[in-house]
Every structure is written in C-alpha cells, then in structure tokens.
Amino acid sequence: MSGIAMSKLVVALLGVLFVGMLSAIIALSVVYSNEVNANKEPAAPAPTEKTTPKPSDITTEKPTARPSGKPTASPSEKPTPTMRPGPWNNIRLPKNLEPISYKVKLWPKLEPDPITKLYTFSGDSTVEFRCLVPTDFVIIHSNKLNYTAKGGHLALLKDSSGNDVEVSSSWLEPKNQYLVLELTAPLQKDATYTMVTEFVGELADDLAGFYRSEYTEGGVRKVVATTQMQPTDARKAFPCFDEPAMKATFDVTIIHKPEHKAISNMPIIDEKSITVDTIIWRETTFNTTLKMSTYLLAFIVCEFTYIEKIENGTQIRIWARPQAVYDGQADYAINITGNILNFFADYYKVAYPLPKSDQIALPDFAAGAMENWGLVTYRETALLYDPVQSSNGNKERVASVVAHELAHQWFGNLVTLKWWNDLWLNEGFASYVEYLGADYAEPTWELKDLFVMSELHRVFSMDSLVSSHPLSSAEEDINTPGEINELFDSISYSKGGSVLRMLSSFLTEPVFVEGLNTYLLAHQLSNAAVDDLWVHQQQAVDNNNVNLPKTVKEIMDTWTLQMGYPVIKLDTSNGNVTQKYFLIDPEAVAGRPSPFNYLWNVPITWKKDGPISTVWLLGVKDAIFPDLQSADKWVLLNIDEVGYYRVNYDVANWNRLLNQLQTDLEMIPVINRAQIIDDAFNLARAKHIDVKLALNTTLYLVNERKYQPWQATISSLSYFKQMLDRSAVFGNMQKYILQQVIPLYNYYDNLVGSNWNDVPPGHADQYNQVNAISLACSYNHLPCEVKASAIYKAWMENPDNYIIHANLKSTVYCVAIAAGGQAEWDFGWKMFKETSLATEADKLRDALACSKQTWILNRYLEYTLDPAMIRKQDATNTIVRIASNVVGQSLAWDFIRANWEYIFTEYGGGSFSFSRLIEGVTGRFSTDYELKQLEQFKADNQEVGFGSGTRALEQALERTKVNIKWRADNEKRIDEWFIDSIRP
C-alpha cells in the first residue's frame, strides 16, 4: 500500500507556504480502522438480541443450543458476545484449519434498496479447507455480514464426499469478527471439508472491504463498487480465513448490470447473461487466482473505460472515469507501466507472475494506492496525470506510486510476510525500490538523489522521539485491526526503505539483488519472515566473498529490533568516533529497554579530499580510527547519506566544512550539503551543538542553486517558523530568510524569465524554482506576492483560457487566496468543485486553507465534515492544512476538540487518519497553556478513545513539552543571531 500524503509533493510544491508542521511530521499512516467500527457497535449484542425475529430468511444469529452460551449476566455486567470460554475469544485464528480454495460469487447493487435505502451486496461462498489438527469448531473471519440460514445454521458444512457434517450450533462473534460453527463430532486430521454460506453486506461508502465510491459524469451520479481489503477487511466481503499466511486460490464471480464492467485480480474466463425477476444481469467469472493472501483480493464494478497495451505478452490496462481517459489522463501511466514491469522482472530475475496487469483510478480511496495482485487500485492523483494541468511533482508521484505498487507484485504478493508484525519489510522494501523503478522509467530525473529528502530526513524526525517504535514488532504484540493499522506509518515505509538502502549499499546492489532473487524463488506462492530475507542475503554475501565484519542478521538486527538511530560523532583531533542514541529532546531518556542497549553496527563511509572509504563501528560506544584524524583538512562522514544515522564533528571540523561551503561548495556532494544543514539543525535542537552553529550552515545559501540543500533548509527552518511565527522574533527571521532567498529567486527570473510561465529543464531544478518562489512569497517578498496575486486575478477574469504553469499553481493559488478575500476564496472553491482533474482539485483544496480570514477558515472547517463538500478521503488532510496556516491553527484545534466524538464515530470507518490529524493540529504547540489543553483533551475523550491516533497523541504530548523547552532555551539567542546576520 502507499500512503496518503507524499511529503515530497507537499514539501516541494506547497510546503513552503505551509512550512508550519508539514515537512517535519507528516506520517505516512494510512488508517481505516476497524477497531473504530468495533467500538462503534455496542460491546456485544445482548443475549436477547439473538432471538429477535429477523426478516424472513435472514439471520445474524442462530439461537440453537449453546450449552453455557447464554450468560446469566447480572444487569450491571457488560454483556459479551459469549461469556463461554473457547477459541473464538482468541483474536488470532486457531491453526487447526488451512484453506485450500474459495469460490465466491458477489452481487453488488449499485442502487439503494427502495425500502431500506441501503446499498447492499449479496453473495455466496464455498471455501474448501483441510483439517490439520482435529477440532470441534470451524472458526472463520466474518465482519458485518448477515447470513441466510442453511439447514438451520449460518453455514453448511460438507466432507470431501459431499456428505453433510453435522453442525450443533453456529453464531457470530462480532468482537473478534468470527463466524463460528460448533460440530457434534470433531473434524478429522488431513481430511478436507467445504463450508457453504449465503450472506448480504452493506455496500457502504466507508472505503473498507467491499465499498462504494461515487462521482458525477455529465451531471449524472455514478456509483462504483470496489474493494480495499488490506489489512483486515476481506472478511467484510465474504467469510474467509483473513490472515496473510492463510493463502489459497480464489474463483471470483461477479453479477452486474450488462452495461457495467467487472474487473478482478485475474482475466475473465466466462461471461453469461442471467435473468432475475425479468431483469437481465451479467455474470462474469474470473480465472482461478494463484495461491494468494486474502488482503490482496480485489473486485470492481464500474462504468469506467481503459486504455491498453501488450508488453511481453502481458496485457496492461489503465482504467479510469471515461472523461479522464478521454482527456488523456491515463496516458502517462500506461507509458511507464510496461517499462517498470520489465525493470522489476529483470531486477528480481523472476517473470511477472500474472497474465495481466490492471491499474485503476478511483474517485474515493483511503490510501494512496493498494497493490492488489493484478488489479492495483489508486486514488486518482496517484495514477492520473494531465500534461498541461499537472505539475512535475504530480508526475513524479504517479511514477513513484506505480513503481511502488508494481514492486509489490513480486515482493509482498508472490512472497508475503507471515504476519503483520513484519509489515515494515514489505513496505520498506517497496519504498526503497520504487525509486529504482521510477528512475528506470524517468532516467533524467535523478530520482535516487531525492530519496534522502523524501524518506530519510522525514523519518529521522519521527524516529528521534522516545515514542517511536522499532521496525520489527513481536508477533504477539500485533493482533487487533487497530494495532495492525497503526503499523502503516512512516517508520515502516521510510525507515524501512532507508535501512534497506543502507544494506544494499554495504552489500553492493548486485549482491543485494542476488539475495532477493533466491529469497523470492524459495518462498514464492508462500510466506516468509524478515529473518528469511537475511538468510538469503547472507548466502549472497558468502557466494560473493563480500567482506563483512559480522553477519547480515547481526548487523541488521541492531537497526530493526531497536528503535531510533545513532548520532556518530567524529573528533578529528584524534580520530575518535563515538555513537550515541539520538533523541531530539535533550532531556529524554529511552523509554523502553533495547536488546542492544541502543548501540548499532554502523557502516561509516567517509572522505577527505580523496576517494570514499568505510569503517565499521561495531556495537561499541567508541573507537579510534587513525585515518579519520585531521589537523587541517575537513573530513566528511556518511557520504550521500546512505547510512541511517546523523553526524556530528568537533567544532574545528564543522568550521572547516562551513568554510569549504563558503569558498567552493561543489567540493561537498550535493546530498551532503543538504545533510550538513539537516543534521546541524537537529543536533542543535537536541543540544549537541550550539543553535548559532546550525544557523551558520545557512550562510552559504546565497550561492546555493541546488534543490536538496534548499529543501533541507526549508524543512529545518520549518521548525523555527512553526515555533516562532507567533512570536516577536519572527520579524528578524523574515528579514534574514528573504536576504538569503532573493538571490535564488532572482536567479530563476534571469534563467527562465520572470513571467513564471517558463520553468528550468531539470526535474529537481523545477522543484527548486518553486521553492524559491514559495519561500520568497511566504516570507512576504512584495514583488512575489504582487505577481502571484496578479496571475490569479488574470485567471479569475478568464478562467477558460488563462493558463498558470502547473508547477506554480499551488504557490499562486495559496499566495493569492492568502492575500485576497471572499472573492478569491469563492472563485477557488468554484474551480475546486468544477474541475474533473484530481490533482487540480487537490491543489485548490490545499490553497483554500491559506486564507487569513477567520470566518472563511471556520466555514471551510465546517465543510470538511460534510461529504457533499469535501470527500471523506480528503477530510483529514484539509483540516491539517488549515491547522498549518498560522491563522487557522487555533481554529482547527477548537474544531477538533468540539467535534472529536462526532469525527471519531462518523469518520472512523475508513477514511480518517487520526494520527495525521492529531500530529497536524498540534504541530505548533509550544506553550504551557497548549500543553494543558492537550492533556485536557486526552482526559476528556478517554471514553470515546483515539483509535489509530493513540500513539500520535502521546507523541504530541511529548513534542509539546520539547517545544516549550526549546523556546525557553533558544528564542533569545536566535534573535541575536538573526540581528547579527541581517545585512544593512
């Protein structure tokens, strides 16, 4: 899966204007919490409910004999589904049964039921399974499905000869989302059985399981039935053994209107017409899948069209709304998909496993994209691209998300992790190789050089909090859907990707891919654990006689089993190198014990003016490396920031490096120029170095023209801005920033002209042009603001013909809406509602949060909870945007506090990322008063809960305390430094 907010876009394109909190703390968490759903339901149906009459043949419960099943609970006791002990009380499936195959027929109704007004689907399913250990129970996942009684029970069970197996009782266990059959005699070891069910479910707009998405085309409302199963919602579509290691084959049949299309993981093998109540329907059957996990299933019914290409015998299609396809928005994706599939087949040395590859852009989608095997689903902005209206950042997003999802078609889908506790390997791996796949498709973009900005720097800030967590979790700690969902965070994605990039670097890429290849071949169509990958990497190391000081597992365990990362400090006077666990809060102490005492096996790359070398600091606090001693030349560590650690030096070496930057910056690799800034600012926050030394790293920027160092500056200063933009210091900060950025701003004006219609040729240069303009405008460079407002005005006057360059739209919109009033805002809103291009809608939706008028922002906040105004999938992001605006901050916080319970219950179902919401809204908190408010908020909502935002709330409390201290310690000295550094 790929996450909601890609910081590279946010930061590169809009970030400066929202420098607020975004770059520092965007989490990639994707949350559609079932836990929330579970909480929403009463703790359990009371025993009496089980006998309530049900509409004719539909029953959710079978009130047959259940020996001790009817609790005689005293009225004060909260009833539970069954007070009776049994395996259904365990959140994990018992290991007695193993699925072999499913035949699933589903019939989604794309019109509401005329009486109940509910959108529903009906289905029947036959699952064949083997009994591994004799048992009296069949326990299978089922969530929010109502069953049709069969032979007096919720399901029919048959043995391999087709004889009925006697069921003594059957019931649902909503707490653990099970359907349970109790048998009169145990199932036999090694025998196979089939279970047949018939059921109905709601086709809700909750973005989870089998759900509905809506859009309008030509003024007509259209409904799409689609799926999002990962991680635990396949059970909401049909009863299944819904754990990733329970692989099986699936035969899917979909019933739909003849004018609709049905798509699934595999190609169609049969289509026929059926007549039900004089209405003709189409029944489409798909070929049997390979052996796969339930969370990778997908089926969609829609009126979309597609464009197609055949590449190496593989049918590739991109599906979207007909208008979007007609407008050419799918062209870019189809042009790169073949290349990327070829790249990965070659990289893994394993052919693409399936006969076809469908990718589809959905109007409502919770995550960024989902790697369903053979039918990848995307939100529109992650797949569709318009050459005129979409920016280069939008294009990069498509390339990288497509590469991410296609990488999973092997790593994740062909070989799947055994359990969710190892999720980081799946997501971290895809987050790393997406850069390789996208780089293959767009070789001129130098994407591999952007990894550091987009993944490493961003996750460094999360991972320097004591409330972070190790990449690997123990299997027994990850059980509930809420716990599983919480793992989809930037630690799993960006830290996972970063440590794999480091591994690949010290093994060398050919050795790394050899290990990958044998891992995939050994575990294909099956499951593996993280240690299995280390075994194969070790074999590759041994085969190639790579000289490593320890085994792959010994090295990697120090990065995956303990949270955080070290700061490596070099003292060039004697070559002494130390490592220390890096925490952003100078007074924090490691919260949990680490198996390695917060010491790592660190590959340290370094250079003076010669070639790059490596030394290892192996699990010890310090060591002397005579080569690293230096009396006059600078020494640079962590070349290209391949290692997952920060670097600190003695002051003399810092000054030699800063001197080098001032005299000839090209001598330091561009990624390391960004690293110096990012490390220095964070080291200062953690009190490893003086804040004035950190600020000194920005002095050379008057001569810097490259994207990465500027991007690092923007994110580093974003913390300053966030802390200071409501304080008296801000005026001097503003003067200094403008002094540094105006040369860059003028450089682009001279390079490509000052009308903002032309952009430089390089991909990263285009980002940097936007950064220059955004930074100048957001610090109120008057010519910049005037130009942006004039361009917006010209567009307002001639909306059909005036074209703003796509790269600059976000900036222009935001600046003009901030400077403008109701007319500018209302025009932006109108264009937002009218555009049929998702990337354009996102730009406008973001920019609408830039207004400086309280009443406009409050009105906009109200819109976020009205799905007719703002799609549910965009609600969190919009609120976070408003909060990142210095004027909107307190409004958003009041809004969240006032509406928490409502948001939690109404939006908990699928689309809402509570962790991002909490992070976003509390990012500026830096006063005692705000800390009290946050503590009060926590206390007030204990009953309601925080679901997937639980950890984020703890992090927010921690961060607020750190911020309070930071301001007390630094504000005055920073002001002095700015005053000293402003040229008259």
Ligand X SMILES: *[C@@H]1O[C@H](CO)[C@@H](O)[C@H](O)[C@H]1NC(C)=O
Exposed, middle or buried by CB within 10 Å (0-12, 13-18, 19+), for 443? exposed
- Whether the Cβ atoms of residue 698 and residue 740 lie closer than 8 Å to each other: yes
201 in contact with ligand X (CB under 6 A): yes
Rg of the chain in Å (alpha carbons): 29
908 in contact with ligand X (CB under 6 A): no
Residue of 2, 29, 33, 60 interacting with ligand X (CB under 6 A): 60
202 in contact with ligand X (CB under 6 A): yes
Residue 405 known to be catalytic: yes
Binding-residue total with ligand X (CB under 6 A): 10
Which is closer to Zn ion, CB of 407 or CB of 676?
Answer: 407
174 in contact with ligand X (CB under 6 A): no
What span, in angstroms and rounded, lies between the C-alpha atoms of 626 and 632?
15
The DSSP annotation for 253-306 comes to EEEE-TTSEEEESS-EEEEEEEEETTEEEEEEEEPPPPSB-GGG--EEEE--EE
Which is closer to ligand X, CB of 238 or CB of 565?
Answer: 238
Which x/- pattern, by CB under 5 A, does the window 421-440 give for Zn ion?
Answer: ------x--x----------
Contact region for ligand X (CB under 6 A) — 185-193, 198-206, 311-319, 559-567? 198-206
DSSP label of 836: -
Which is closer to Zn ion, CB of 427 or CB of 704?
Answer: 427
Which is closer to Zn ion, CB of 28 or CB of 957?
Answer: 28
Shortest separation between residue 154's beta carbon and ligand X, angstroms: 13
Q: Which does 146 bind (CB under 5 to 8 A by kind): ligand X, Zn ion, none?
A: ligand X
**Greatest alpha-carbon span in the chain:** 93
Shortest separation between residue 107's beta carbon and ligand X, angstroms: 12
Residues 6+ apart with CB under 8 A from 892: 861, 879, 880, 882, 883, 920, 921
In the block, residue with structure tokens 């606090």: 621
Residues 6+ apart with CB under 8 A from 183: 136, 137, 138, 157, 165, 166, 167, 168
What span, in angstroms and rounded, lies between the C-alpha atoms of 617 and 620?
7
Shortest separation between residue 192's beta carbon and ligand X, angstroms: 21
CA 467 to chain centre: 19
Residues 6+ apart with CB under 8 A from 395: 332, 385
Residues 272-301 that bind ligand X (CB under 6 A): 287
Contact region for ligand X (CB under 6 A) — 169-177, 196-204, 344-352, 579-587? 196-204
Shortest separation between residue 45's beta carbon and ligand X, angstroms: 9
Pairing of strands 415-417, 526-528: parallel
Shortest separation between residue 833's beta carbon and ligand X, angstroms: 32
Shortest separation between residue 131's beta carbon and ligand X, angstroms: 27
Residue of 157, 167, 200, 661 interacting with ligand X (CB under 6 A): 200
DSSP label of 597: T
Binding-residue total with Zn ion (CB under 5 A): 3
- Whether the Cβ atoms of residue 110 and residue 225 lie closer than 8 Å to each other: yes
Q: Which does 91 bind (CB under 5 to 8 A by kind): Zn ion, ligand X, none?
A: none
What span, in angstroms and rounded, lies between the C-alpha atoms of 23 and 20?
8
**Six-digit token string for 255:** 């019933």
Shortest separation between residue 1's beta carbon and Zn ion, angstroms: 4
Which is closer to ligand X, CB of 118 or CB of 612?
Answer: 118
120 in contact with ligand X (CB under 6 A): yes
What span, in angstroms and rounded, lies between the C-alpha atoms of 9 and 392?
9
Contact region for ligand X (CB under 6 A) — 195-203, 226-234, 925-933, 942-950? 195-203
Exposed, middle or buried by CB within 10 Å (0-12, 13-18, 19+), for 521? middle
Residues 130-159 that bind ligand X (CB under 6 A): 146
Residues 675-734 that bind ligand X (CB under 6 A): none
Q: Which does 59 bind (CB under 5 to 8 A by kind): Zn ion, ligand X, none?
A: none
Q: Which does 99 bind (CB under 5 to 8 A by kind): ligand X, Zn ion, none?
A: none
Among 405, 434, 486, 641, the one annotated catalytic: 405
Q: Which does 1 bind (CB under 5 to 8 A by kind): Zn ion, ligand X, none?
A: Zn ion
What span, in angstroms and rounded, lies between the C-alpha atoms of 115 and 117?
6
Which is closer to ligand X, CB of 200 or CB of 729?
Answer: 200
376 in contact with Zn ion (CB under 5 A): no
Shortest separation between residue 99's beta carbon and Zn ion, angstroms: 24
Residues 829-868 that bind Zn ion (CB under 5 A): none
Q: Which does 430 bind (CB under 5 to 8 A by kind): Zn ion, ligand X, none?
A: Zn ion
630 in contact with ligand X (CB under 6 A): no
267 in contact with ligand X (CB under 6 A): yes
Which is closer to Zn ion, CB of 1 or CB of 441?
Answer: 1
206 in contact with ligand X (CB under 6 A): no
Shortest separation between residue 231's beta carbon and Zn ion, angstroms: 12
895 Rama sector, left if φ>0, alpha if ψ -120 to 50, beta otherwise: alpha
CA 721 to chain centre: 26
1 in contact with Zn ion (CB under 5 A): yes
Q: Which does 201 bind (CB under 5 to 8 A by kind): ligand X, Zn ion, none?
A: ligand X
CA-to-CA separations, 137 to 167, 235, 920, in angstroms, rounded: 9, 18, 46
Nearest to 137 by CA among 78, 86, 209: 86
Nearest to 387 by CA among 445, 427, 344, 328: 328
452 in contact with Zn ion (CB under 5 A): no
Shortest separation between residue 913's beta carbon and Zn ion, angstroms: 16
Residues 245-284 that bind Zn ion (CB under 5 A): none
In DSSP terms, 181 is beta-bridged to: 138, 170
Q: Which does 267 bind (CB under 5 to 8 A by kind): Zn ion, ligand X, none?
A: ligand X
Q: List phi, psi (to 5°) of 570.
A: -105, 130
Q: Which does 200 bind (CB under 5 to 8 A by kind): Zn ion, ligand X, none?
A: ligand X
What span, in angstroms and rounded, lies between the C-alpha atoms of 131 and 747?
72
Residue of 65, 133, 269, 274 interacting with ligand X (CB under 6 A): 269
Q: List phi, psi (to 5°) of 369.
A: -165, 165
**Six-digit token string for 4:** 């909601």
Q: Which residues of 175-191 are buried (b: 16+ CB within 10 A; e: fewer)?
A: bbbbbbbbbeeebeeee
Shortest separation between residue 270's beta carbon and ligand X, angstroms: 8
The residues that touch ligand X, with contacts defined as CB under 6 A, are: 60, 118, 120, 146, 200-202, 267, 269, 287
Return the active site residues. Answer: 405
The residues that touch Zn ion, with contacts defined as CB under 5 A, are: 1, 427, 430
